[in-house]
Amino acid sequence: MHLAYDVIVVGSGFSAIAVTCNLIEQLPASAKVAVVGDDPGFGRGTAYRTELYLHRLNVPAGRMSLLPHQPDDFVDWLKSHGRPLQAGDFASRSDYGLYVRDTLARLLRKRDGRCRVDFIKAKAAGCVERYSSTLAFHLGNGDEIAGKNVVLCLGVGNATLPVAPDGVPPLLRSRIVENPWRLSWLRRVAPSDAVCILGSGLTMIDQVLALRAHGHAGKIDVLSRRGLAPLGHAWKPPAPLPIDVETLPDTISGILKTLRGKSRTVADWRAVMDGLRPATQALWQRLSSKERARFLRHALPWWNIHRHRVAPDVFDRFEKLVLDGTVRFHAGFLKSLGAEEGRLVASYRVRATREIAEIRADWLVNCTGMERAGISHSPLLKEMSRFELIVPDPLGLGIQVDAASEVIAPSRISPARLFAVGALTAGQFWEITAVPDIRVQAKVVVEEIVSRG
């Protein structure tokens, strides 16, 4: 079957739904939209699919409205669903997933004379340019759909294990959890099992708390290159210190020095990070490629722990486990995965030394995260790159787009317009993985599509 659309949205996570909501609000009734996604819970994606109430948002509820022009929308939704949280509180991610789904349903239900939206549950497997000025996608279900405008909302894939588990016998491999978002593995963990977690970011904290909620009481060893864990939001957040990007130096070392200096002038360093937040995209765009690469090489782990903070009570619960010795951090580089006497053995080189150390555990969980959005996780993107419909970002931060999020691909001939939304555009914007940024980007992209007719 071949179907033609004005706009095709590829993806079924938050970005796709944010784009779709804006399309419903802005397109005329005559327009036809297709949303193609392989995720059973449209709108939830990896982030908001969790069923565990303890998995919380790391952005206060007051900044999580799906619609930037209605900032109280999420807080109002929470109240009307029996969760009277304030704008500064941190809601659960499962509630957020329901809110996103409800918001879309509300728009689909209410709008008189709205455009047609077809939700197609399938994977987009390939893409070609058509002479009819469209881009056509082959779908996993055998259909083909073509669109004059396409918005790629593919998110980022799960990180793969940093080393192959070659030394682990097949029977023990089921104890290596490569995708911790399939929470079913938690039911197989015995209370006293030793767990080794690779990676020490937000996903690690989620998994530690989920283990506890499932009755796990054993030791948890966390291995990451620097052994740094996310910091917490303050119970009483300080007022952000406004930062004028134009006054900052052009180099990463100069910027860090200036920010450290500013931190010494305030009672809480979070004031500086929060002041930088609205200016981060502009700051990134001012940096040369050399400085961006330097940031990724040297400053990224520090940036992540200060910038992507957890809710204060989540932080307190996690810190207790660190202080009582339940969670132990190790800084080093994983060298190999093996097994001995029925247990998994992770060998690593201790940071800043030549010493090789080992962690022995019953379970190994890959939480090495998703901070970079390359294209290797996606067969569709790899094929589009091969056909020069997209060009990968030189630093591995998704694909090349311009300031309007339109894909830059000089070899493409079709006049069909191709955009990307979300982490795939990190090379252009850097700060584009969280809701407060994506919702604005989604609105701007749709305005651009509508304005060009």
Ligand X SMILES: Cc1cc2nc3c(=O)[nH]c(=O)nc-3n(C[C@H](O)[C@H](O)[C@H](O)COP(=O)(O)OP(=O)(O)OC[C@H]3O[C@@H](n4cnc5c(N)ncnc54)[C@H](O)[C@@H]3O)c2cc1C
- Binder among 5, 6, 9, 11 for ligand X (CB under 6 A): 11
16 touching ligand X, by CB under 6 A: yes
Residue 25 to residue 49: CA distance in whole angstroms: 25
Residue 279 CB, nearest approach to ligand X (Å): 18
Q: Write each residue from 194 to 223 as x if it is in contact with ligand X (CB under 6 A), else as -, in one continuous string.
A: ---------x--------------------
What Å distances lie between residue 307 and 154, 268, 275, 293, 417, CA to CA?
Answer: 23, 14, 11, 18, 34
The two three-digit tokens of residue 315, written as one number? 């932080």
Q: How many residues bind ligand X (CB under 6 A)?
A: 31
By the 10 Å C-beta count (0-12 exposed, 13-18 middle, 19+ buried), 261 is classed as: exposed
Amino acid at 358: E
Amino acid at 300: L
- Of 40-48, 215-223, 265-273, 359-367, the segment contacting ligand X by CB under 6 A is 40-48
Q: Looking at residues 134 to 163 of the shown chain, list those that interact with ligand X (rule: CB under 6 A).
A: 153-155
Handedness of CA 42, 43, 46, 48 (dihedral sign): negative
- Residue closer to ligand X by CB (options 198, 252) is 198
Residue 378 CB, nearest approach to ligand X (Å): 6
Q: Looking at residues 325 to 384 of the shown chain, list those that interact with ligand X (rule: CB under 6 A).
A: 370, 378, 380
Residue 23 to residue 17: CA distance in whole angstroms: 10
15 touching ligand X, by CB under 6 A: yes
- Binder among 4, 25, 46, 392 for ligand X (CB under 6 A): 46
- Binder among 68, 147, 180, 422 for ligand X (CB under 6 A): 422
User: Which residues have CB under 8 Å from 109's CB, separation 6+?
Assistant: none
Q: Looking at residues 431 to 450 of the shown chain, list those that interact with ligand X (rule: CB under 6 A).
A: 433-435
12 touching ligand X, by CB under 6 A: yes
- One DSSP character per residue, 33-51 reads EEEEE--SSTTTTTTT---
304 touching ligand X, by CB under 6 A: no
- Residue closer to ligand X by CB (options 11, 332) is 11
Residue 23 to residue 26: CA distance in whole angstroms: 5
By the 10 Å C-beta count (0-12 exposed, 13-18 middle, 19+ buried), 28 is classed as: exposed
- Residue closer to ligand X by CB (options 35, 107) is 35
- Residue closer to ligand X by CB (options 46, 385) is 46
- Residue closer to ligand X by CB (options 124, 223) is 124
| Strand 356-361, strand 363-366: pairing | unpaired
| Strand 327-340, strand 343-350: pairing | antiparallel
Residue 301 to residue 195: CA distance in whole angstroms: 23
- Binder among 21, 24, 34, 59 for ligand X (CB under 6 A): 59
123 touching ligand X, by CB under 6 A: yes
Q: What share of the chain is helix, strand, coil (3-state, %, to 5)?
A: 35, 20, 45
- Residue closer to ligand X by CB (options 42, 363) is 42
- Residue closer to ligand X by CB (options 7, 172) is 7
- Residue closer to ligand X by CB (options 203, 400) is 203
Instruction: List residues binding ligand X (CB under 6 A).
Output: 10-16, 36-39, 45-47, 57-59, 123-124, 153-155, 203, 370, 378, 380, 422-423, 433-435
